[in-house]
């Protein structure tokens, strides 16, 4: 056990360490031996003894002290069981309960001729190891050669789990690998991904740091910087480097107490109070607060401490101790140090109770020391009960050997003062860790478990068995920190209302990709284009296929179809056009009804009732087409629209051309002769109109087969989330053909009653399409084109309805015979001015230009 301060020239000094837990730790061994020897059911015929040696915080001294426990080489130098007062097993009636013994390390008599005092020998069955892992490694290696079991109650180094190098070592604490895993779990649970590490230049610190480097990537944690510190380290430079990584606020401290205090001193000088989130290992817990230094820097520090429990019975036992009631040779030096007095001057007796010394504290880890002693006791008890039940006293010592005792201890479990004591195959205790935070006592509300202004308040517990953390007790406090970064709500935990950040880079926005830097936790963000999705784990962008768009619900990692836009009956313009088409249809029905009523009227008969019926049907089909253009396009709907569109124009203008040619032929023939004309009967007119309609429909059918109309998607702007669904069909050239044919209409005689109305219809039709076609092809949206096409179709056929049919109805109702007489008088006057052959008495046309076909 390390009792005095660091040695000087391999010589332990007389300066007692000012760690308040050392004296209770020594007395805990004596207390455990005492209650074992008083227990009649445990080792009934044997008493335990013990010896404590000081290794004064030096691994070399610890190794030299271990030589006292090795078996002697010959019987000449060997202490017998009968004459040594430090035998580890004796008869209860003749042996004292305990014996504190100091040992003197090798001492040089002169600088020129070294001479050593003889090393004392202690016949022991086992050794209770030191606190430090580094010293434990040296001692365990040496004791393993002698096959002497060793139990450590504080050494946590991972290398001690190696049974090849340390086959005779057991320990009542979990190895550091579990502590490291617990720290990283706690860090990841708080969303911290960018941390720094300060570790000692010992096996304890180096092994832990290697473990952190291996496990951190598994928790998506990156190391900003790391420092290996010792007694000669420039701690100001260390703090300066830690501060240079400003966003890495979490710092793991895996070193002994003294280097950490030097680091806190440098932090105080740098004015870094409240910047770092310190997370310390078990070397800080239960120890560093009691030093009473840099309390403000320690405020808010988290520590991990292997599980232990207070032992109220021992606390009562310890408080009753007095300098003259114990055989502990270090008790009086501790008393003198604490009371600042001297027994030689009789100035120390004014203090009547050790409980008055505020620098003395009993850490919960005392339970581990007591359980270590009981592990030896139960192992010896079971060994003697199985192998040598009849032996007692000193004779029982001959039955105990290191290899057999080790197996009994390793394979036995019991309920100790800490918890259930059981070992795994590596001789390590399967335990758990307390997660504590150093808070002011009045802030945490916790019971005082360490002296001073700060107390270590339990905020959680890490279970080694399943790697989980359960948060307990009061809320974690962040009030001591300077919030140089945003504060976020914790999810699910419910134990804390807020937390600081310790990250290298903030998450990119959903529409951004990560440009990875050297560390996996550090990146820059770049923006994808609007129509690109994130690929390769959000590190690159890829263009979505046409008519698709990145899905926000999948954080832009996949593309989904864009809902198409198409004409709908609920749209304002579509609804207006449908209403207009409905009104025009009603008007058409009225015209058709009047035509049926006055079908025998000369005006109706002269207009060719059959061809007029075809034209009215064409106008009706046009209105139906207007309505169909306002519904969702499908392949079937587009095909129907295509044929109705072509049919409506063909059936409207083919009869009109047939009528115009018929009238033109009648007037032309009348100027030449009086012979009867062919192909002017209603049946002939229907046949000619039918032929024209058939030819056009065959052309349309051929175009339908070559370029089948279908519902087609289009995306006008690639970077806009807008897709249109429209009918894709080729416009027929019949309209142009019919428009050119209608240019012949003005060649009809001026005195032909329908000439001006047909001319106006043709002219208006040309004007409509000359206006609509440029607008149609310059419109960027297909929806706009559909509305223009519907409007043009509606206007075109409504104009035809007005100019070709309304005048005839008007004539039926309002043109009388007087008007007819005036017309005849005008014709007779015209005959006087113009000479005609006797065989012909018909009105000549104003022009005798030949027909174009």
Query: In the chain, where does the domain assigned CATH 3.40.50.2300 lie?
Result: 22-172+311-331+364-421, 176-310+431-471
Average pLDDT over every residue of 668-689: 66
Q: Domain 575-833: which CATH class?
A: mainly alpha
Chain CA centroid to CA 753, Å: 83
Please name the residues in contact with 654: beta carbons below 8 A apart, sequence gap of 6 or more: 614, 689, 692, 693, 696, 738
Can you give the pLDDT at residue 670?
59
**What does DSSP say about strands 540-543 and 512-516: parallel, antiparallel, or unpaired?**
unpaired
Can you give the pLDDT at residue 766?
81
Structure tokens given for 180:
């490291």
Least confident of 414-423, 547-556, 679-688, 725-734: 725-734
Q: Is the dihedral of CA 225, 228, 231, 234 positive or negative?
A: negative
The more confidently predicted of residues 230 and 766 is 230
Round to whole Å and give the CA distance between 109 and 624. Answer: 124
Per-residue pLDDT tens digits for 423-457: 888 888 878 898 988 888 765 444 444 444 678 88
Task: Say if residue 835's pLDDT is above 50.
Answer: no
Least confident of 112-126, 231-245, 707-721: 112-126
Per-residue pLDDT tens digits for 365-410: 889 999 999 999 999 999 999 998 888 878 888 889 889 999 999 9
Instruction: Give Cα separations from 274 to 270, 478, 708 (angstroms).
Output: 12, 9, 75
Can you give the pLDDT at residue 330?
86
Average pLDDT, the chain: 79
Helix locations, 39-150, DSSP H: 59-66, 133-145
Least confident of 301-315, 575-589, 775-789: 775-789
Round to whole Å and give the CA distance between 702 and 734. Answer: 14
High-pLDDT (> 70) share of the chain, %: 79
Please name the residues in contact with 665: beta carbons below 8 A apart, sequence gap of 6 or more: 677, 680, 851
SS3 277: strand
Average pLDDT over every residue of 218-234: 92
Backbone φ and ψ for 238, nearest 5 degrees, come out as -65, -45
Query: In the chain, where does the domain assigned CATH 1.20.1070 lie?
Result: 575-833
Task: Say if residue 740's pLDDT is above 50.
Answer: no
Task: Say if residue 692's pLDDT is above 90.
Answer: no
Task: Say if residue 26's pLDDT is above 60.
Answer: yes
Within 10 Å of residue 664's Cβ, how many Cβ atoms? 20
Within 10 Å of residue 225's Cβ, how many Cβ atoms? 15
Backbone φ and ψ for 717, nearest 5 degrees, come out as -120, 125
Can you give the pLDDT at residue 81?
32
Q: Where does the pLDDT of residue 850 fall: very low under 50, low under 70, confident under 90, or very high at 90 and above?
A: very low
Can you give the pLDDT at residue 425?
87
Backbone φ and ψ for 85, nearest 5 degrees, come out as -90, 0
Of 99-113, 385-399, 477-491, 496-510, where does the model show the most confidence?
385-399
Dihedral angle over CA of 127, 131, 136, 137, nearest 10? 160
Least confident of 107-116, 180-189, 644-653: 107-116
Reply yes or no on domain 22-172+311-331+364-421 having CATH 3.30.930.10.
no
Per-residue pLDDT tens digits for 535-594: 888 888 899 999 999 998 888 889 999 999 888 888 888 899 999 999 999 999 999 999
HSE toward the beta carbon, residue 380, CA cutoff 13 A? 32
Can you give the pLDDT at residue 111?
32
Can you give the pLDDT at residue 106?
34
* Residue position matching structure tokens 């399943």: 466
End-to-end, the C-alpha distance of the chain in Å comes to 127
The more confidently predicted of residues 797 and 853 is 797
Per-residue pLDDT tens digits for 54-110: 888 888 888 888 888 988 754 444 333 333 333 344 333 333 334 454 443 333 323
Can you give the pLDDT at residue 496?
44
Round to whole Å and give the CA distance between 406 and 151. Answer: 10
Task: Say if residue 239's pLDDT is above 90.
Answer: yes
Per-residue pLDDT tens digits for 175-198: 888 999 999 999 999 989 999 999
Least confident of 16-30, 355-369, 601-615: 355-369
Q: What is the largest CA-CA distance in the chain?
A: 176
493 within 8 A of 471, measured Cβ to Cβ: yes
Can you give the pLDDT at residue 690?
81
Q: Is the dihedral of CA 525, 529, 530, 536 positive or negative?
A: negative
Backbone φ and ψ for 308, nearest 5 degrees, come out as -155, 170
Can you give the pLDDT at residue 213?
94
Structure tokens given for 524:
């820059």
High-pLDDT (> 90) share of the chain, %: 24
Reply yes or no on domain 176-310+431-471 having CATH 3.40.50.2300.
yes
Can you give the pLDDT at residue 737?
41
716 within 8 A of 781, measured Cβ to Cβ: yes
Within 10 Å of residue 746's Cβ, how many Cβ atoms? 15
The more confidently predicted of residues 476 and 662 is 476
Per-residue pLDDT tens digits for 125-160: 999 988 888 888 889 999 999 999 999 988 888 888
Can you give the pLDDT at residue 700?
75
Can you give the pLDDT at residue 598?
87
Q: Where does the pLDDT of residue 821 fall: very low under 50, low under 70, confident under 90, or very high at 90 and above?
A: very low
The more confidently predicted of residues 31 and 91 is 31
Chain CA centroid to CA 249, Å: 21
């Amino acid at each position: 056990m390390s009792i005095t301060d660091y040695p000087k020239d391999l010589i332990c000094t007389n300066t007692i360490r000012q760690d308040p837990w050392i004296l209770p730790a020594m007395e805990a061994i004596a207390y455990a031996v005492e209650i074992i020897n008083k227990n009649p059911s445990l080792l009934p015929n044997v008493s335990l003894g013990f010896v404590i040696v000081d290794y004064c915080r030096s691994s070399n001294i610890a190794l030299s002290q271990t030589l006292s426990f090795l078996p002697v080489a010959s019987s000449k130098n060997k202490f017998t069981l009968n004459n040594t007062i430090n035998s580890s097993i004796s008869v209860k009636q003749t042996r004292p309960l305990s014996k504190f013994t100091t040992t003197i390390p090798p001492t040089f008599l002169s600088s020129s001729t070294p001479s050593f005092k003889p090393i004392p020998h202690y016949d022991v069955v086992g050794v209770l190891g030191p606190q430090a892992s580094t010293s434990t490694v040296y001692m365990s290696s040496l004791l393993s050669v002698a096959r002497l079991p060793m139990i450590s109650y504080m050494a946590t180094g991972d290398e001690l789990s190696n049974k090849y190098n340390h086959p005779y070592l057991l320990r009542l604490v979990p190895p550091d690998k579990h502590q490291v895993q617990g720290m990283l779990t706690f860090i990841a649970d708080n969303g911290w991904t960018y941390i720094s590490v300060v570790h000692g230049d010992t096996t304890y610190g180096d092994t832990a740091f290697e473990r952190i480097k291996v496990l951190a990537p598994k928790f998506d944690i990156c190391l900003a910087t790391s420092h290996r510190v010792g007694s000669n380290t420039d701690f100001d430079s260390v703090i300066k480097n830690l501060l240079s990584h400003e966003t890495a606020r979490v710092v793991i401290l895996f070193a002994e107490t003294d280097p950490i205090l030097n680091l806190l001193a440098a932090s105080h000088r740098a004015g870094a109070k409240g910047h770092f989130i310190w997370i310390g290992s078990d070397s800080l817990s239960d120890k560093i607060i009691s030093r009473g230094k840099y309390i403000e820097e320690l405020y808010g520090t988290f520590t991990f401490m292997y599980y232990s429990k207070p032992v109220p019975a021992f606390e009562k036992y310890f408080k009753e101790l007095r300098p003259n009631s114990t055989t502990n040779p270090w008790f009086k030096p501790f008393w003198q140090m604490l009371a600042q007095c001297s027994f030689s001057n009789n100035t120390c007796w004014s203090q009547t109770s050790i409980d008055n010394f505020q620098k003395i504290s009993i850490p919960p880890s005392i339970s581990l020391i007591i359980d270590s002693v009981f592990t030896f006791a139960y192992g010896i008890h079971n060994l003697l009960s199985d192998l040598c039940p009849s032996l007692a006293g000193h004779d029982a010592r001959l039955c105990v050997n290191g290899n057999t005792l080790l197996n009994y201890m390793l394979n036995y479990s019991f309920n100790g003062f800490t918890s259930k004591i059981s070992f795994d195959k590596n001789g390590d205790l399967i335990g758990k860790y307390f997660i504590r935070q150093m808070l002011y006592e009045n802030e945490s509300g916790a019971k005082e478990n360490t002296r001073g202004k700060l107390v270590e308040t339990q905020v959680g517990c890490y279970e080694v068995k399943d790697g989980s953390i359960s948060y307990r007790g009061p809320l974690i406090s962040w009030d001591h920190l300077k919030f140089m970064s945003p504060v976020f709500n914790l999810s699910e935990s419910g134990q804390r209302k807020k937390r600081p950040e310790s990250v290298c880079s903030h998450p990119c926005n959903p529409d951004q990709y990560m440009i990875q830097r050297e560390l996996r936790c550090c990146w820059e963000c770049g923006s994808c284009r609007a129509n690109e999705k994130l690929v390769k784990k959000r590190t690159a962008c890829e263009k979505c296929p046409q008519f698709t768009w990145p899905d926000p619900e999948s954080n832009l990692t996949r593309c989904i179809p864009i809902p198409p836009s198409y004409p709908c009956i609920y749209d304002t313009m579509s609804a207006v056009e449908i209403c207009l088409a409905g009104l025009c249809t009603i008007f058409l029905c009225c015209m058709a009804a009047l035509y049926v009523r006055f079908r025998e009227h000369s005006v109706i008969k002269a207009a060719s009732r059959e061809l007029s019926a075809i034209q009215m049907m064409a106008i009706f089909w046009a209105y139906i087409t207007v309505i169909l253009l306002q519904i969702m396009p499908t392949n079937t709907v587009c095909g129907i629209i295509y044929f109705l569109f072509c049919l409506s124009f063909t059936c409207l203008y083919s009869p009109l051309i047939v009528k115009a040619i018929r009238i033109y032929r009648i007037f032309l023939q009348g100027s030449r002769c009086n012979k009867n004309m062919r192909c002017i009967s209603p049946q002939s007119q229907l046949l000619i109109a039918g032929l024209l309609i058939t030819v056009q429909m065959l052309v349309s059918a051929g175009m339908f087969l070559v370029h089948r109309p279908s519902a087609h998607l289009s995306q006008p702007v690639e970077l806009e989330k807008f897709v249109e669904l429209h009918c894709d069909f080729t416009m027929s050239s019949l309209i142009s053909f019919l428009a050119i044919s209608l240019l012949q209409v003005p060649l009809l005689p001026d005195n032909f009653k329908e000439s001006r109305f047909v001319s106006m219809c043709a002219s208006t039709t040309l004007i409509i399409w000359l206006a609509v076609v440029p607008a149609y092809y310059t419109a960027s949206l297909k929806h706009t084109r559909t509305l223009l096409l519907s409007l043009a179709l509606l206007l075109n056929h409504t104009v035809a309805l007005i100019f070709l049919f309304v005048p005839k109805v008007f004539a039926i109702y309002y043109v009388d015979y007087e008007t007819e007489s005036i017309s005849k008088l005008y014709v007779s006057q015209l005959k006087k001015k113009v000479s005609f052959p006797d065989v012909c008495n018909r009105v000549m046309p104003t022009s005798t230009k030949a027909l174009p076909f």
